[in-house]
Structure formats: structure tokens, C-alpha cells
């Protein structure tokens, strides 16, 4: 089991499927309940919620572009 956590706001585990056993899955599930994973997941969630939604990005792009037509294009 490879741990992917904290340094780049990743909160998770990598469980290769080929040799994974039920006991590996159980151990991973228990690890995910540990404080370090909950903390990293909270940071990841907060970071995602702080970003604009796709709809907000489109609105901002539309405001930036406005009614401008690129030069050389028919209006």
C-alpha cells in the first residue's frame, strides 16, 4: 500500500489491484480514518471550494470578451 498524502493536497491511498487482499482493503480503510487523512481531505475540500465554479469561470470569460470580434473576422 502506497500512501499519497499531504504534500500536494492529496488525501488517499494507492492500492494496486493485482495483489490486493481483503485484509489490505480493510487496513487501507482503517488508515483513511486516521487524523492525517481527515486533515488532508479537509484541506483538499477547502481548496476546491475556494475555486470558482465552471459556471463562474464562463461568466468571467464572457465579461472579459464582451462583444468584441477578433480583427479580420466579419461582424
Residue 70 domain flag: no
Residue 75 domain flag: no
Is the pTM higher than 0.85? Answer: no
Q: How far, CA to CA in Å, does 3 sit from each of 37, 57, 58, 61?
A: 10, 33, 36, 38
Place 8 in a pLDDT band, splitting at 50, 70 and 90.
very low
Residue 19 domain flag: yes
The tens digit of pLDDT for each residue in 38-71 reads 888 888 888 889 999 999 999 999 888 886 766 6
- Taken as a whole, the chain contains a residue count of 75
Place 73 in a pLDDT band, splitting at 50, 70 and 90.
low
For the chain, give percent helix, strand, coil, nearest 5. 50, 10, 35
Total structural domains in the chain?
1
Full residue range of the structural domain in which residue 56 is found: 2-65
Amino acid at each position: 500500500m502506497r500512501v499519497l498524502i499531504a504534500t500536494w493536497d492529496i488525501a488517499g491511498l494507492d492500492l494496486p489491484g493485482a495483489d490486493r487482499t481483503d485484509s489490505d482493503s480493510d487496513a487501507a480503510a482503517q488508515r483513511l480514518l486516521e487524523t492525517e487523512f481527515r486533515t488532508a481531505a479537509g484541506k483538499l475540500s477547502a481548496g476546491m471550494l475556494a475555486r470558482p465554479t465552471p459556471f463562474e469561470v464562463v461568466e468571467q470569460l464572457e465579461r472579459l470578451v464582451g462583444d468584441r470580434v477578433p480583427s479580420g473576422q466579419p461582424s
